[in-house]
Amino acid sequence: MDTVNYEKTSPTAWITINRPQVMNACDPPTTDYIYGCEQDFDKDPDLKVLVLTGAGERAFCTGMDLKAAAARIASGGPVSNVVPPYMKTDKVTIAAVNGYAVAGGLERALACDIRIASDNAQFGCFEIRRGLPNPPDPLIRLVGFGPALHMLLSGELIDAQEALRIGLVTKVVSAQELIPTVEELAARMGEYPTEVLVATKKAAFAGRDMTIEQSHLYARASSAPLRDSDISREGVTAFAERRKANYG
């Protein structure tokens, strides 16, 4: 599809929103195709890590295509005729954020497990500017009630360094270093066993709604089948033998 580039270089898949002329805003066909790519990634056993990014230097994604929405309104249609389905996968997802990540674009970044930003990245909850409601979760869970509420109600932009300070992103690099940095991270995680990546992510997300003791017990129980498996045996043996582990 012209508006989305989907590439699979096992063990990594890349989804690049390719509408730079509208700052990678998404119309319904683009949104549907992105979701289809995410489902394909989730089902492909050879893929472990998904990277989501935007084409060009100006924007990661600016959410709903408002010009397309205005055209629908003018013809008697709804503001939006699609509810963006964000990815649900036990595999690892990374947002490589270049430029603006606002409104639904910020939501797409929040749907990823890890967010790495270029130093020109900017983030904002622009829905309030357009008279649209905005779901407060997962922003509140990620950065805390105060910073999240400020973003949700003010519609103000924050830059990459402020996003790093409040925990919205985990790393900030130059625009030139963004893709190489994400490529390196994805390749490194792609060497780890899928089963361990999945178990770790599941335990992390499940534990958010538990007490510390419950989270600890859940993590131990869910990881028990792996703790004396061929996977863990290979990892320990490879370390002892000073060689790279081969997880098959």
Q: Which ranges in the chain belong to alpha helices (H)?
A: 28-43, 66-74, 104-110, 139-143, 145-154, 160-166, 175-190, 194-207, 212-227, 230-240
CB atoms within 10 A of CB 54: 29
Cα separation of 27 and 66, whole Å? 9
Joined together, the tokens standing for residue 59 give 């924007």
Residue 8: Cβ within 10 Å count? 15
**pLDDT score recorded for residue 158:** 98
> Is the CA virtual torsion 185, 188, 190, 192 positive or negative?
negative
pLDDT digits (tens, 9 = 90+) for 41-88: 999 999 999 999 999 999 999 998 877 777 777 777 666 655 555 678
pLDDT at res. 82: 55
- The pLDDT score that the predictor gives to residue 198 is 92
**Cα pseudo-dihedral 89, 38, 17, 143, rounded to 10:** -10
Catalytic residue among 7, 127, 156, 213: 127
**Catalytic one of 7, 38, 57, 107:** 107
Any idea what DSSP says for residue 127? G
Angstrom distance (rounded) from CA 94 to CA 115: 6
Tell me the C-alpha distance between 169 and 161, whole Å.
9
191 is catalytic: no
Give dist(CA 3, CA 31) in Å, integer. 10
Q: Going by CATH, does the domain composed of 4-190 fall within 3.20.20.70?
A: no
> Whose structure tokens read 């730079």?
20
Instruction: Give the C-alpha separation, 232 to 235, whole Å.
Output: 5
127 is catalytic: yes
Answer yes or no: are the C-beta atoms of 158 and 126 closer than 8 Å: no
Q: Please calculate the CA angle 57-59-62 and round it to the nearest 5 degrees.
A: 170
Q: Give the span between the Cα atoms of 200 and 2, in whole angstroms.
A: 35
- Enumerate the domain spans of the chain: 4-190, 194-240
Spans of the chain, pLDDT less than 50? none
* pTM, full prediction: 0.91
